[in-house]
Amino acid sequence: MAPMGIRLSPLGMAVFCLLGLGVLYHLYSGFLAGRFAFFMLSEPAASGPEPPRGSAPAGTVDLRELLAVSVLAATRGGQEVKRVREGNVLNAKAKGKTREGAEEQLTSGDLLSNRRMFYLLKAAFPAVQINSEEHVDAADQETVSWDHSIPEDIKQKIQPKEVPAESVTVWIDPLDATQEYTEDLRQYVTTMVCVAVNGKPVIGVIHKPFSAYTAWAMVDGGSNVKARSSYNEKTPRIIVSRSHAGKVEQVARQTFGNKTVIIPAGGAGYKVLALLDVAEKNQEEADVYIHVTYIKKWDICAGNAVLRALGGHMTTLTGEEISYTGSDGNEGGLIASINVNHKALIEKLPDLEKTSHK
């Protein structure tokens, strides 16, 4: 019998037990919550995602990683260029005229390659300035990610090197030799990426979409391409733009001799590769590359970086280094060489320099 003559029913017992549990919960909940908070604070890694391995600290860029992404961007852009050309869906149209009065062509290959290359680089390195030949339409943005993987050949030859992000400018040429592309002269077509640090070209990537050949180099780092043999003084081979061959030929023969061979070609990337040891059946060979008129920096930056990395030179016709900051054009023409006395070449070219600003 319960005290005071009170008998508890099963329902009352249940209520009594629940009240007791409530009191215990109130007493110990604060203690348990405090212990749990202490445990969580003692494990900082659980408070957020781990940063990707190998990524540079905030505000800096690892040039080895940027080289890897540049190679990937040039390759993916090249896939678009090839797909459009092989599908014969160029949708070519004039986008303006050059200073010489020639029509500049724009195709679907230019635009699709540009979109793929730009957004891949921007997603991987959002703090870096990117200059591209084609306009980037924000409404046509493509979501691209990079898994931070670095190809083995780059790992073996290039060491990590961090530089301030604000010192870096990336130059993209999503389709070099567009005129030749519309004419189906595929051997001249390249996609290119260049990285300049404080205006100096330090990384160059030149990709040939229709043969899947890629040349890359990093100044004070390494490369996957080599320079050709020494300059042929008896019968020098001068590679020039197809549209400028007539303008250059007479002066070049007067300068270098009547046995000088003039090689008309399309695309600045192709012309630089002509100076290198490239295992390509459709790649011509030359000793010197000369351009005598205004040229855009995204056309020449990658080739300039590759030549610098291999000990070569690309300068204006008066021997000035080309800065890859500021405006997107180079007014002074250019002369490029490797394994040659570059200064002696420049001294032979006073007449060509006069035409570079026209």
Residue 233 Cα to chain centre, angstroms: 35
Confirm whether 110 is a catalytic residue.
yes
Nearest to 170 by CA among 99, 114, 104: 114
Binding site annotation covers 133? yes
Question: Of residues 75, 107, 169, 178, which has the active-site annotation?
Answer: 178
Confirm whether 287 is a catalytic residue.
no
Name residue, tokens 């931070």.
148
Question: Of residues 62, 75, 107, 110, which has the active-site annotation?
Answer: 110
Distances (CA, A) of 210 to 17, 175, 270: 81, 12, 13
Binding site annotation covers 184? no
Binding site annotation covers 176? yes
Binding site annotation covers 62? no
Distance CA 209, CA 191 (A): 7
| Cα dihedral value 320, 321, 326, 331, nearest 10 | 40
HEC string of 71-89 equals HHHHHHHHHHHHHHHHHCC
Q: In the structure encoding, which two tokens stand for residue 232, read together? A: 């042929």
Number of H helices, E strands in the chain: 10, 19
Are 148 and 92 contacting, i.e. CB atoms less than 8 angstroms apart?
A: no
Instruction: Please list the active-site residues.
Output: 110, 178
Binding residues for Mg(2+): 133, 173, 175-176, 299
Which residues does the annotation place in the binding site? 133, 173, 175-176, 299
